[in-house]
Amino acid sequence: MTIAMVDGEGVSFRQRAGRWWPVVVLAPSLLASFVYVVVFTLWTLYISLSNSGLLPSYGFVGLENYASLWANRRWNIAYNNLFFFSAFYILGSMAVGLLLAILIDQRVKGEALWRTIFLYPLAVSFIVTGTVWSWLYNPADGVQMLVRSLGWESFSFALASDRNTAIYAVIITGIWQSSGFAMALFLAGLRSVDPDLVKAAQIDGASAFRTYRKVILPTIAPIFLAVAVVQIQFAIKTFDLVAALTRGGPGVSTTFPAIYVYDLMFQRGQIGEGAAAAMMMLAALAVVLVPYSFFVVWRRRRESRHG
């Protein structure tokens, strides 16, 4: 609820000045956010419609950059990869995170230790994770070499070096990095479920599995959404992970829009087309972002109506 401003005659100077503080405090951040969100987006949109090459220029060329972008096979692969990766990465992280959270919720011993183990990858960068996993995937030095040296000579583990499977290497590494985060959120959700509700289900004779499926998981449904939204944040960052893990290869098999934008803008001097690619990334995001922000606004309204 908004606090009613104290109105009336005997308002001191301090109080009147105080009325402006909220606006004064908020203004710089607002201005910065406005420039960052609105101006920068429109700016990039404009560049994407211009004939910018090595340097930005402002000759209007309409949708030419978009046409040449979509005519490019590599871009199409990159765009497909983004959706393929995001879907498996988000579902994978959630599945692993939920499994770990439920297991830890069974009053296991040493809970803090388990949690720390599963959560620490979140603290390190995709660069660090990608680098180290690229060594493990490397057939000459990594897991394959280890197993072969133990005597299984025909063992093959070369996910990241095969163009058909490299994307799975990226997905697995991504899940490793962020499933702990999902676990932490799910665990907190499980802990917030009303114990009476659970007890009632057990008295009714529901099995543990049924209790989870019918009682506990539905009550923490909002957490699923929260986890998904945060994971999409990470999915957008595929630039870091891929840059360190596979550098888009082998061939173009793990190219992502983020990598492609960077290449166009800073390696190949095609700024206009790079901006078009960046706008397409935003479009992909908007598919998720627009419904979600409507949902947030709707929920906030309801929240404030109920005090």
Partner 1 sequence: MADLSLARVADPEAAAAGRRFLAGRIAIYGILGVFALIYLAPLVVVVLNSFREQPEIARNGLINLPRSFTLEAWSSAWGSYCIGGTCEGMKRNFLNSLAMTIPATIISTLLGALNGYVLSKWRFRGSEALFTLMLLGVFMPGQIALMPWAFVLGKLGLTNSTYGLVLVHVIQGISFTTLFCRNYYVSIPDDLIKAARIDGAGFWRIFRKIVLPLSPPILIVTVIWQFTGIWNEYLFGVVFTSGREQPITAALVALTAGGTTARTYDVMSAAVLIGALPPLLVYFFGGKYFVRGLTQGAIK
91 binds partner 1 (CB under 8 A): no
Residues in binding contact with partner 1, number by CB under 8 A: 112
Applying CB under 8 A, the span of 57-65, 68-76, 160-168, 219-227 interacting with partner 1 comes to 219-227
Q: What angle do CA 160, 244, 265 make, to 5 degrees?
A: 115
Which 93-112 residues touch partner 1, going by CB under 8 A?
A: 96, 99-100, 103-108, 112
Give me the least distance between CB of 30 and partner 1, in Å please.
6
Min CB(196)–partner 1 separation in Å: 14
Q: Considering beta carbons, is residue 75 or 212 the nearer one to partner 1?
A: 212
123 near partner 1, judged by CB under 8 A: yes
Nearer to partner 1, 71 or 123 (CB): 123
Q: What is the DSSP string of the chain?
A: -PPPP--STT--HHHHHHHHHHHHHHHHHHHHHHIIIIIHHHHHHHHHTBT-SSS----B-TTHHHHHHHT-HHHHHHHHHHHHHHHHHHHHHHHHHHHHHHHHTTT-TTHHHHHHHHHGGGGS-HHHHHHHHHHHH-TTTSHHHHHHHTT-TT----GGGSTTTHHHHHHHHHHHHHHHHHHHHHHHHHHHS-HHHHHHHHHTT--HHHHIIIIIHHHTHHHHHHHHHHHHHHHHTHHHHHHHHTTT-STTTT--HHHHHHIIIIIS--HHHHHHHHHHHHHHHHHHHHHHHHHHHHHHHHHHHT-
Specify the residue, 164 or 205, whose C-beta has the smaller distance to partner 1.
205
Residue 234 interacts with partner 1 (CB under 8 A)?
A: no
Q: Which of 75, 79, 85, 133 binds partner 1 (CB under 8 A)?
A: 133
Q: Provide the CB-side half-sphere exposure for 52 (13 A, CA).
A: 25
Least distance to partner 1, CB of residue 25, Å: 5
For the CB of residue 82, give the shortest distance to partner 1 in the complex, in Å. 11
Among 49, 89, 262, 276, binds partner 1 (CB under 8 A): 262
The size of the chain, in residues, is 307
233 binds partner 1 (CB under 8 A): yes
- Contact flag: residue 193 with partner 1 (CB under 8 A): no
Is there a contact between 276 and 69 (Cβ–Cβ < 8 Å)? yes
- Tell me if 296 contacts partner 1 by CB under 8 A: yes
Question: Which residues from 166-185 bind partner 1, rule CB under 8 A?
Answer: 176, 180, 184-185
Tell the smallest beta-carbon distance from residue 213 to partner 1 (Å): 12
End-to-end CA distance of the chain: 6
- Applying CB under 8 A, does 11 fall inside the site for partner 1? no
Rounded least distance, CB 37 to partner 1, Å: 5
CB of 275 to partner 1, least distance (A): 6
Which segment (72-80, 87-95, 158-166, 220-228) binds partner 1 by CB under 8 A? Answer: 220-228
Minimum distance of partner 1 from residue 73's CB (angstroms): 21
